[in-house]
């Protein structure tokens, strides 16, 4: 079983990364951006001393999802295409609501927190 897992990983690396480095890099970048949004949210929450989702979280969600959506179209995976399509709509809606109804509590580096 362990040998077959190693062989699968070798095959996947050869087929998806070595033979197509541009798309592999695009997918990796999308994953990094998408994952980094949680680190951003954690840092912002620690800074405010309460659970907080900064606007940049939604921009990072959108950017990561767009990259992963484009990659999903490239690899022709309908499950990922549908999933990222819905995510993109949700993130765009959240950003629309944020800018339609701006709040005074947006965190900007250097701002004093009065909570």
Encode pLDDT of 69-88 as tens digits: 999 999 999 999 999 999 99
**Tens-place pLDDT, residues 25-52:** 999 999 999 999 999 999 999 999 999 9
Q: For the chain, how many structural domains are there in total? A: 1
Retrieve residue 75's tokens: 């690899």
**Higher local confidence (pLDDT), 10 or 60:** 60
Question: Is pLDDT at 18 greater than 70 in this prediction?
Answer: yes
**Range with lowest mean pLDDT among 3-12, 20-29, 37-46, 89-98:** 3-12
Does residue 95 form part of some domain? yes
Does residue 6 form part of some domain? no
Q: Average pLDDT of 53-63? A: 95
| pTM, full prediction | 0.77
Residue-number span of the structural domain to which 89 is assigned: 21-100
Does residue 93 form part of some domain? yes
Does residue 76 form part of some domain? yes
Instruction: Output the average pLDDT for the chain.
Output: 88
Does residue 92 form part of some domain? yes
d(CA 91, CA 28): 20
- Provide the pLDDT confidence category of residue 115 given band limits of 50, 70 and 90: very low
- Provide the pLDDT confidence category of residue 16 given band limits of 50, 70 and 90: confident
Q: Which helix (H) or strand (E) holds 67?
A: helix 55-75
């Amino acid at each position: 079983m362990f040998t077959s897992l190693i062989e699968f990983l070798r095959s996947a690396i050869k087929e998806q990364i070595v033979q197509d480095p541009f798309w592999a890099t695009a997918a990796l970048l999308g994953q990094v951006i998408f994952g980094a949004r949680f680190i951003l949210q954690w840092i912002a929450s620690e800074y405010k001393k309460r659970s907080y989702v900064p606007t940049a979280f939604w921009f990072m969600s959108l950017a990561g999802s767009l990259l992963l959506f484009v990659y999903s179209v490239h690899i022709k995976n309908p499950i990922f295409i549908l999933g990222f399509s819905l995510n993109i709509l949700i993130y765009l809606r959240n950003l629309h609501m944020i800018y339609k109804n701006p709040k005074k509590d947006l965190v900007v580096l250097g701002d004093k927190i009065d909570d």
